[in-house]
Amino acid sequence: MRPSQIIDSHIHCGIQHAHLPIDDIRPLLREEGITSACMFAPVEDVYDRDDPGFEDTALWRQTRHRANRYLLDLADQGEMIFPYLFVWNDFAVEELKHPYRGIKWHRHTDEPVYHYQDPRCTILIEEITRRRLPIVLEESFHHTCTFIERLAPKALIIIPHLGGLNGGYRALDEAGIWRRENVFADTALASTSEMRHFIGKYGADKLLFGSDYPFGDPGGELRKIERLQLSSEDFAKVVAGNLLNLLREGEGLA
């Protein structure tokens, strides 16, 4: 029997370059008894992923602002979502004045790069860390390790896909990333064998259910966790409790 609260910690939602409206997502969640979700703007609304030399312009900053704002507006309208701020190279620390519940930090190895040397990047990371906002960090293996070990050693970090797009689960395991108390993982598109290994080595308290919609189906990804045959207590932690504990860390901070 499923618990009364299930939260998908990894969903893309937006209506600009990528057409992923809440009206398409809502019935998928309801059908599976998923009660709420953490939502991020689609990458296509943040930067041009096909242009490695992409640079910000005023037009792209407006597009990015609208994409992030769409999620805040959904929450204001009563949708059961937790809006996350998708950060890019404007490192707009002033955006943190809005009630975002987490941060999306995302690039793949063949995409435009974050300007980590920009002083504004340091300022933003320090403020995110102070506010205890969880960061869903999807980066190359090198940048993932550098981010966690040097740039944001005290931040709350969630690595999606059990590291599948951050260099791989085993590579992060061998690098000692999963051992860090402030590092968590989501299950989106990960294998059940990796989930079992992670839980056996690091415990159920560090794993979060996610689907990576539209790339993963929320119901299908949830059933993968059911196949782990966890205790009812551990299942409830993975599908909601662990995420809620992370989100509570940032409540009331300003």
What is the CATH classification number for the domain harbouring 153? 3.20.20.140
| Residue 6 in domain | no
Residue 254 lies in a domain: no
The verdict on residue 8 lying in a domain is no
pLDDT at position 254 is: 46
Q: Is the pTM of this model over 0.85?
A: yes
* Residue 185 within any structural domain of the chain: yes
- The reported pLDDT for the residue numbered 18 is 85
Is it the case that residue 250 has pLDDT exceeding 90? Answer: no
- Mean of per-residue pLDDT scores for the chain: 96
| 1 located within any domain | no
Structural domain boundaries enclosing 136: 13-249
Q: Does residue 203 sit within a domain?
A: yes
Beginning with the edge strand found earlier in the chain, give each strand of the sheet holding 102-106 in spatial order. 7-12, 36-40, 81-86, 102-106, 135-138, 157-159, 183-186, 207-208
| Residue 55: predicted pLDDT | 87
Q: What total of structural domains would you count in the chain?
A: 1
pLDDT tens, residue by residue, 180-232: 999 999 999 999 999 999 999 999 999 999 999 999 999 999 999 999 999 99
pLDDT computed for residue 53 by the predictor: 87
Of 114, 208, 115, 213, the closest CA to residue 162 belongs to 208
Q: Per the domain annotation, does 40 fall within a domain?
A: yes
Confidence of residue 64 (pLDDT cuts 50, 70, 90): very high
Is residue 185 within a helix (H) or strand (E), and if so which, with residue range?
strand 183-186
pLDDT tens per residue across span 106-155: 999 989 999 999 999 999 999 999 999 999 999 999 999 999 999 999 99
Q: Does 118 fall in a domain?
A: yes
